[in-house]
Amino acid sequence: MRRPVPALITLSVAAALVTGCAGGAPDPAEPGPPALPVLEAGEANPMIAEGVSVVAGASLYKSSGLGPSAANPAAADGTPQAYVDAGQFPGGTLPAGVSVTEAQGMNALARIKENLEARGLRLDDVTSMRVFLDNAPGTARADYAGWNRAYRQYFANTDLTTGETVLVPTGTAAPAAPLVRNPARPSRFALEVASLPVPGWLVEVEVDAVYPPGVTPR
């Protein structure tokens, strides 16, 4: 017996729900979205898209792989703790339940944000993401849960039905407002690798982003 095919919706529909325009006809004078992420129907807060179609003629930006910056002078060079942002976590001390992968993930995504903004783009222009994770010393596998908490601080943290911000946890703390409110759900993969190019990195991220109408690539 064949499995049923799940219904799909595009982010253009979801965006209408977020802005309160569900059911309204699109304005023919307005340019359409340059990218159409496909989301599973019925989910108000999906983490990622099942795929993204980029409209012909759209301008695409591809970042290099970026990891966290060395932002913890109290830690030894080349250690995972050296890439914990001491500005966010004073002294590089991680609160309860916050893993070093989670802290590095937030640091790396902050670098992605800076990289995009230098090109005139924003996090909500990201259409796809590739993530490479190394396991922390003394652990058997990569910390996907910690990475996913970091990701929700910058992506996929609005309810597509109501438009409300979704609170996200940092470690085991009570959920709170994310670092960056962003409705975008890019397509994404995350996988564990044997090592990353910079000693101490546990996270490396690269993204594709599409320039919105009216924004000139630079």
- What's the gap between Cα 118 and its chain centre? 18
Residue 38 · residue 53 · CB < 8 Å = yes
Q: Evaluate the CA torsion angle 113, 181, 190, 98 in order and state its sign.
A: positive
Can you give the pLDDT at residue 198?
98
Average pLDDT rounded to a whole number, residues 103-113: 98
Can you give the pLDDT at residue 19?
34
pTM: 0.86
Average pLDDT rounded to a whole number, residues 159-188: 97
Q: Work out the pLDDT band at 32, boundaries 50, 70, 90.
A: confident
Beta carbons within 10 angstroms of residue 209's beta carbon: 27
Residue 48 · residue 32 · CB < 8 Å = no
Average pLDDT rounded to a whole number, residues 79-88: 98
Q: What is the pLDDT of residues 151-161, one digit of tens each?
A: 999 999 999 99
Average pLDDT rounded to a whole number, residues 110-115: 98
CA Rg, the chain, in Å? 18
Q: Is the pLDDT of residue 9 over 70?
A: no
**Cα–Cα dist 144/25, whole Å:** 40
Can you give the pLDDT at residue 8?
37
Residue 34: phi, psi to the nearest 5?
A: -75, -15
Among the listed ranges 28-42, 55-69, 129-143, 164-178, which one has the minimum average pLDDT value? 28-42
Can you give the pLDDT at residue 27?
52
Tracing tokens 């960056």 back to the chain, one arrives at: 180
Highest-scoring range by mean pLDDT, 18-27, 28-37, 175-184: 175-184
Among the listed ranges 38-42, 46-50, 79-83, which one has the minimum average pLDDT value? 38-42
Can you give the pLDDT at residue 14?
38
Average pLDDT rounded to a whole number, residues 20-31: 45
**Cα–Cα dist 47/153, whole Å:** 11
Can you give the pLDDT at residue 60?
97
Residues 6+ positions from 16 with CB-CB distance below 8 Å: 22, 23, 24
Percent of the chain residues past pLDDT 70, beyond the cut:
86
Q: Which domains does the chain have, with CATH numbers?
A: 8-210 (3.30.1330.40)
Can you give the pLDDT at residue 25?
41
For the CA atoms of 164, 127, 10, 45, what is the dihedral angle to 10 degrees?
-30
Helix (H, G, I), strand (E, B) or coil at 15: helix
